A and B are shown apart, each in its own frame.
Chain A
């Protein structure tokens, strides 16, 4: 498979603060690649390096087989970018926002208009052509930014938290559109806080923490290699949970992990442990048994009790 992005030991400092401490990953053609991590993990900085708002400080970056120190216009020409902030042009109405942006890519006026109208339809915004940006809802703005990123038919789509701030319908709509683009062969890289989003969209992902890549793999590989397959969430305050639960779970062959002032029990034998916990003083109605997910991997690797 052709490598679209090859990043090796990328570093970046903001003053004395190390934002990236040696980040490496590859993205193959046609793949949807995810970067997961807390705020401040270095996801946005990594993406900015790809789309040309951050210079490569040290390490090596190759995009479409070109070595990059600051992404040049010729490569930006084939990127589609959804930045974290909705930086739509408030001085122009919706349709003109898109036409003007398409013109920046050297697309002729008539074709830019046609393409913009098609993208508004694609993102379900065709009724908003003449609206001002300020009059759009948060979800509509986000969809418009995504529409803008698609005007130049990009070969690599870079999405920095594409669905943050969207309601569930809006999020599913965006996912549906992104899956459609993926099936057309568009390569994608996205950052997200939503594990469900990563699991739904990403073929492969990395979990980042404090400027480092902690792990890499497909969502199911990561779940299989970092956590036991079943989880019982104990939804009780820590002081209402008997002290010896940790030891009992360990003896059972599982593992207890404190998460956000609660306790998660990981095990290979979900049903057997579920039958057991009543005897250990944990009422079942305060507990919840489920298969382990990416979220558990994330919690485990990036620290406990902090905001995901």
Chain B
């Protein structure tokens, strides 16, 4: 497993050079959503479930940023390293296994996911949108959705041959996650079957937990979301390696 951390340290070297661009890219988008919808739509809506609309959506922005960071790193980032730069092949020639190369990709996705989730958390806290101290558990929690989104992204990336095919994943998986995950409105307003489907939506679970921790609405129900995300990780954990093996080895 030491090999996985050596692979991660390569990614870290790159990150140390590019973090500022990364920051702009990963932070700007959630903040644009927050300001446009929060100030625009928020004026019309007023309070929602007992909190202001901005407070309602702010924790969702944290979950959203975390999802995007893992997703983009392990789709576009991984695809480039695999097919264009051949960085993964170069690393694999070194004293590491395929499993360690893939673990390095996943750890990097998780790292960025937690990091950029936390950056948004700090921003919305400064804006006064995070009333509860239980929010300090959010960074720890973000490891779970970070792992789920990294695993899903690496699996999808391993299955495609053309970079344009990544658009399907973004449009058909990531967009519905985010539109129906309860970010802008409570999921209770959705038709019943959409609510059922949401159990498969990792972003839904992530938003529910982030919001509860940010607003201090702690209940046993949070463990259900944690359990579902953990189950997703356990079920999917071996899949990236199985799929990527055929891409890296002949």
Which residues in A have some Cβ–Cβ distance to B below 8 Å? 12, 14, 45, 48, 51-55, 70, 72-74, 76-77, 79, 81, 83, 85, 87-92, 96, 100-101, 103-106
Contact = CB atoms under 8 A, between A and B. Distances in A.
A91 B94 contact: no
A8 B250 CA distance: 19
B87 A87 contact: yes
A52 B250 contact: no
B249 to A, nearest CB: 6
A52 B96 CA distance: 10
Contact of B93 (A51, A72, A74): A51
A91 B93 contact: no
Given A91-B17, A92-B13, A83 B249 contact: no
Report the contact-size class of chain B (Cβ under 8 Å from the partner): 20 to 34
B11 to A, nearest CB: 9
B49 to A, nearest CB: 44
Contacts of A88: 90
A104 B250 contact: no
A105 B94 contact: yes
Contact of B249 (A53, A72, A73, A74): A53
B225 interface: no
27 contacts: A12-B250, A14-B250, A45-B250, A53-B92, A53-B248, A54-B249, A55-B250, A72-B97, A73-B96, A76-B94, A79-B93, A81-B93, A83-B90, A85-B86, A87-B87, A88-B90, A89-B87, A91-B17, A91-B85, A96-B13, A100-B10, A101-B90, A103-B6, A104-B6, A104-B95, A105-B94, A106-B2
Contact of B89 (A12, A74, A83, A104): A83
Interface string B79-105: 000000111011111111100000000
A281 B90 CA distance: 57
Interface in B74-131: 85-87, 89-97
B93 A52 contact: yes
B58 to A, nearest CB: 33
B17 A92 contact: yes
Contact of A92 (B2, B14, B94): B14
B213 to A, nearest CB: 35
Contacts of A106: 2, 6, 95
Contacts of B241: none
Nearest to A51: B93
Contacts of A79: 93
Contacts of A53: 89, 92-93, 248-250
A88 B249 CA distance: 19
A83 B88 CA distance: 13
Nearest to A79: B93
B13 A55 contact: no
B100 to A, nearest CB: 8
Contacts of B90: 83, 87-89, 101
Contacts of A51: 93
A12 B250 CA distance: 9
A74 B96 CA distance: 9
Contacts of A96: 13
A100 B13 contact: yes
B10 A89 contact: yes
Interface string B164-176: 0000000000000
Nearest to B96: A73
B97 A73 contact: yes
B242 to A, nearest CB: 15
Closest 4 CB pairs between A and B?
A87-B86, A73-B95, A77-B95, A104-B94
B18 interface: yes
Given A53-B89, A74-B95, 8 more contacts: A12-B250, A52-B92, A73-B3, A73-B97, A92-B14, A100-B9, A104-B7, A105-B94
Interface string B14-27: 10011000000000
A45 B250 CA distance: 9
Contact of B91 (A12, A45, A70, A104): A104
Contacts of B86: 85, 87
Of A55, A77, A85, A90, chain B has the most CB atoms within 10 Å of the CB of A90
A45 B86 CA distance: 17
Nearest to B84: A90
A104 B249 contact: no
A105 B94 CA distance: 7
A87 B95 contact: no
Contact of A89 (B18, B85, B97, B249): B85
Contacts of A100: 9-10, 13
